[in-house]
Amino acid sequence: MKMSASSDSWKSKAACRKAYTDTYCSNQAQSGMNLKTLQNLMGHSDIGITMNNYTYLGLEDAAVEIVRMEAIESAGESSRRKKYV
């Protein structure tokens, strides 16, 4: 089956648009943009679409969050110790 040039061009444009929106959404999520704001900018009716289909976060992102949570926990413990001294 032979594909027409216009059909290939359309598929190529659709793939580029998908890659662009995926990258934009992921970059904004990684930079800390509020997900409800990102949902609105992307035009998604459901936050699940934004979170599950368009944000690709990896193990490095999880590691950064763990370090951030440990710092918050450590600051809380430090604060609690000062209250009882």
List the domain range (segments joined by +) for residue 63: 58-85
Is the domain of 7 the same as that of 29? yes
Is the domain of 5 the same as that of 42? yes
Output 33-39 pairs: Cβ under 8 A, ≥24 positions apart.
Answer: none
pLDDT tens figures, 34-56: 999 999 999 999 999 888 877 76
Is the domain of 26 the same as that of 45? yes
The string of DSSP codes covering 17-77 is: HHHHHHHHHHHHHHTT--HHHHHHHHT-SSHHHHHHHS----HHHHHHHHHHHHHHHHHHH
Letter for the amino acid at 85? V
Is the domain of 6 the same as that of 47? yes
The pLDDT of residue 21 is above 80: yes
Give the whole-number percent of the chain exceeding pLDDT 70: 80
Domain count, the chain: 2
